[in-house]
Structures are given as structure tokens and as C-alpha cells.
Structure 1
Amino acid sequence: MKSVLLYVNDDSGLDARYQAALDLTRALEGHLHCLRANPYQPQMAFDGVTGMSVMYDISRYALEADTLLKAEIEKRLAGEDVPWDYHTANAEPARGLSRSSALTDLIVLSSCSGIKDNTEPLGILGDVVFNTNIPVIVQPDSLKKFDAAGPVVVAWNGSFEAGNALRAAVPLLKLASDVHIVVVEEDKDHDLPPLEASEYLSRHGIKSKIHELAADKSSVQAVLLSTVDALNASYMVMGAYGHSRAREFLFGGVTRNLFRDCPVPLLVAH
């Protein structure tokens, strides 16, 4: 896990994403790739009669904003101690990130916690997580760090998605002070019991503790969040979108709720 991809956009989560990406790159002794994906780059012909001049104006303003953003990020990175590069893509954010993920080990995106209208960050998260095989760090806007050396909670439900997330997280879990595998009982059998997850980690030299908790009248996410707080966890590992994305979006779900409410970073994989 050496290549960290940072989504660059002038939004409320940029500072938190930026610092988390730096912390991760340092901890992993890796390389930081900065990507600005913008669908309004001026690469089109225009005709004032047909109204294409409006699109040209939008493209021109977007290019000016991108130039300023690039200069700001490059100025900040010039004073950092990590290797980096900066690229742009003429594409929607999720598509641009997905296209750039083939030789990437980790993508850093924002949670849906920082703005009232969280449709856009939720959509980007959903598309990237669902359409790539790359683990994603979901960073809260309010937290401008990623502590790779602290305690970690692994949310385990025995699913295929949970297994993918655990496997993807191994390089980071090796740096953690403690690893806690947390199972919230949901009155259903697990395909993969938590003991198997613990044994898998042990083969990588990672010690872990298993916590089997009852939801009672609380929701699964409420139990997970209280456990994160009780264990003072630095981040949480979880599988994402165990149900279909449409069902999660329309009716809610653990994935969607934690994207919005989790106060610590999430490492997620589908």
C-alpha cells in the first residue's frame, strides 16, 4: 500500500482530506497522487447563436478556478516531506477517480458530514466504492488528521464486503496499537465468524481482540459509534453496501448512516 490518491476539490472537506492523505502517505512511506477531476475544461467548440457560448464561459471560469486551486495545493505540498504529483482529468469526479484507480492502493474522500446538502459527496462515495476495487478512506470534515498508530475498530458482520475491507486494511492494521474486531449481533448467522477474521490477521502478525455485542434496542450503527468512542479508536474498518446501493440510498443503511455520522475516518471497501 504505497500509492495514495487524494481527490482535490475546493469544498468544505478539502483541508481534512489533504491532511489525512499526508498522514497516510507518511505512515505508509508512500507517494501522494493529487487528482482534480473537472468536467468543464474548455475543450469544446462554441457558437454564440446556439448558446454554446454559455458553456464556454462556464469552462473558462472553471479553468481559472482550477488554476488557482492547483497553485494553492502545489504551494502547500512544496513544504511537505512526501513525494507527490498533481494531475487533472476532464471528467466527473467519480469517473475521474475511478479511471485513476488502476494503479492506486488507497483513495481519500470526504464523508457526508460537513454540509447540509450531502447528495454530492454521498454520490461520489457511492460510485467510487461500488465501481472500484480500491479501499477508500472516508474522512470527516471536522478531523484534520489520520492517526495510523492508534487503536482500530473492525466492524465485522461476516460478509464478503467485510472480508474485502479487512484484507485491504492489513498494511494499515500492522501500524495500529490495538485491533478490535467488533460484532453486533443481528439474529442471523455469519458466513465468516469473527474468529476466522482474527486468525486471518494473526497470519499477518496482527493481534486482535473480539468483542461480541448485542444491539438490543439500539441500531447497529449506534452500537458501533459508541464502541468507537469507548475504545478511543482512531478509525474504523468496514465493508460497504452489503445491500444494493439503491436500497441503501432510499431507505438508509449502516453504510449510508456512518458515511454521515461517524466522527472518525472509515476505511471501506465493497
Structure 2
Amino acid sequence: MTVPKSILMPLSSSGQEKERMLGALSVAAYFSAHLEVLHATLNPRRFIPDEVVARRMPQSLLQELEALASKYSVTESSELQQLFQSLCDQNHAPLTEQLIHDAPTACWQEIVGLRSELVGERGKVHDLIIVPQPKSGTPTSTFEAAIMRSGKPVLLMPRTLTTFCADRVLIAWNGSTESARAVASALPVLKAAKQIVVGCSNRSSAREPGIDKLIQYLARHGVEAIGKHFDSHRLAAGESLLQLSDSIGSDLIVMGAYTHRRVHEQIFGGVTRHMVGHATIPIWMMH
């Protein structure tokens, strides 16, 4: 329930790097938080089976591959880091590890390793993880590691969104444990919002605790909210939720992630997968 003060964002060279950096810096400015950008690279040896390395591949060729990969990685990292430093300067976010009260700060971390594993581990010592919406429209291993392993909320950001605003917030409520965790973690955002709508599908309206109890809980935290039920009988719940979000002009959606069993999500889709593929605004998620 504390205001996020330590934010982690994994960064890869998969396009829209500048926009993604600006979006993350905007989130850091919103919370006056420290932003750590994690740029992870892989050693090519990781992709070569051990038995191939041991028996078939000449060491000279392996060393040449590693040297080429290292040269490319250093060049790419240097260019991205320079761009990040420039954007930090423009947005008054000093590059420092030191704490500056009531002001955003940032740092760049260059690490060799698998991005998803690093995010799952390092996310545990941050308050919030920013993950870009995947190009493929399906959850990535980095997104799933952040959601399932970090124990912290994840902010799914559209790749081209450069500013963060949370004046109008939609809470997607179905009475699940995951939804409850998402709401609790988002309380600092909810307290600062100008309008909050709690949305619940007709399919979930009978589940307890219902909308009224959530609204009462929020009121005890000084947060005023109104409830809206939406019909998801004709459309998928995710599609209906996005329609409600559009109709009220929300800037942010707060919701639980993977509230059904993973097998059910993979076979039948699910709200989480739909939001990852189709949302056009940031989604605050927690498992």
C-alpha cells in the first residue's frame, strides 16, 4: 500500500525504445520514484547444447561467435544507454543511485543473463515492474515471470505511450484474491485519482465480496468510487471490460492477473491474455 519508490523496467531492442523509456520516466515522475532500467544480454553459448560444445564445435569458432556477439551487444547497449541518459536529462531525472526525496531518479543496469529470470528475481526488491505490451499480442516469458514470480504489481504499458496519467481509473472486480491484491497495491494511485469506477461482469456479480463491499473498503481509505455492472454474455469478458473502459474514458485499469488456473487460461483464452493483446491504456496487474 506504500507509494512505489523503486521501479524496474526490463528493456530490449525490440522497437519503440525511446517511447518505452519516456513512458517509464513518466511513471517514475508520477511517483517521484527511482527507475532502474535493466538491459540484459545473452552469451551465445547458452543457445548451443553442451554436448555440441564438448564434442563438435571448434573452440576457435565458439570464441569467434562470442566475440561477435559481445561486440554487437556493447554497441547496442552503448547506443541505448546514451539515449536513456539524454532522455533523463531532458526529463529532470538524475542518473544516480542516491535517494533524492520528492524527485525522480534513474539508473542503467547492464547484465548478462536471461531477461525473464532476472526480472522474476530482481523484481522482488522493487515496488513496481513496468513491462511493455508485447508485439505478438501474447504474454511473453518476461511478463509472466514478472507476474508470477516477483510478488509485485506489474504495469503493462502500451509500447508507444510516453506519458502516464491515472485521473480516471477502472477497477476490474470479480471478487478474486488476485483482484484484491491488485486493488491493495494500487491504493496510492486510487487515492490520487479523480474518478474511480468499479466494474464487474454479470457473470461475477454473485461472487463475494461484491462491488458494494469493495466500495465500502475503498471509502475507509478515503477513496470514493462508483460501481457498474457490464454484460459479458455476448462478448468475452475482456472485450466487454475494454468497452466499459472506453465508455468512461479511463486512463488506467486495475485488475488481477491469471485469476483462473493456467491451463484454463491457455485453452480458453482469458481476460489477462485479452488485455495483454488488446488494451490501449496501461494495466495495473497483480497475481
Instruction: Output the TM-score relative to the length of structure 2.
Output: 0.84
Q: Is the 8 A contact 2:202 2:229 kept in 1?
A: yes
* Cα distance, 1:35 vs structure 2: 1.3
Q: Which residue of 2 aligns with 1:159?
A: 176
Q: CA 1:141–1:50 in 2, change beyond 3 Å: closer, same or farther? A: closer
> Which one is further off, 33-42 or 130-139?
33-42
Once the two structures are superposed, residues 96-136 of structure 1 have per-residue CA deviations (whole angstroms, 9 ceiling, x without a partner) of 12222232111111113xx3x445x6222112111111111
2:86 to 55, 75, 86: 75
CA–CA separation in structure 1 for the residues paired with 2:79 and 2:18: 16
User: Equivalent residue of 1:62, what SS?
Assistant: helix
Task: State the Cα deviation string for residues 186-237 of structure 1 (Å, max 9, x = none).
Answer: 1674132122221221122111111122223122112111111110000100
CA distance in 2 between partners of 1:247 and 1:50 (Å)? 45
- Say which of 42, 65, 79 aligns to 2:76: 65
Candidates 31, 42, 48, aligned match of 1:39:
42
Choose which of 19, 22, 26 in structure 1 pairs with 2:22: 19
Letter paired with 1:223? S
SS of equivalent to 1:207: coil
Amino acid in the other structure paired with 1:9: S
Determine whether 1:231 maps to 2:248: yes
In 2, Cα distance between equivalents of 1:154 and 1:102: 24
Q: Any unmatched runs of 5+ in structure 2?
A: 46-56, 94-104
Q: 2 CA distance for matches of 1:266 and 1:84?
A: 22
Q: Structure 1 vs Structure 2: percent identity of aligned residues?
A: 23
Pairing partner for 1:91 from 106, 110, 113: 113
Distance 1:70 1:249, change over 3 A: farther
Consecutive unaligned residues of structure 1, counting only runs of 5 or more, are none
| Aligned 8 A contact 2:20 2:160 in 1 | no
**Given residue 17 of structure 1, which amino acid in structure 2 is its aligned partner?**
R
Matched, 1:28 2:31: yes
**For this pair of structures, how many residues does the alignment match?**
264
Look up the equivalent residue of 1:141 and give its one-letter code: R
Q: 2:146 corresponds to which residue?
A: 128
Match of 1:142 in 2: 160
Measured on the aligned residues, the alpha-carbon RMSD in Å equals 2.4
Matched, 1:174 2:191: yes
1:5 aligns with 2:5: no
Question: Does the alignment pair 1:108 with 2:120?
Answer: no
| 1:199 has 2:210 as partner | no
Q: What TM-score comes out, normalization by structure 1 length?
A: 0.89
How many Å separate the matches in 2 of 1:193 and 1:225? 20
Q: Cα distance, 1:167 vs. partner?
A: 0.6
**Does the 8 A contact of 2:127 with 2:153 survive in 1?**
yes
CA distance in 2: counterparts of 1:188 and 1:171, whole angstroms: 26
The whole-number CA distance in structure 2 between the counterparts of 1:187 and 1:92 is: 38
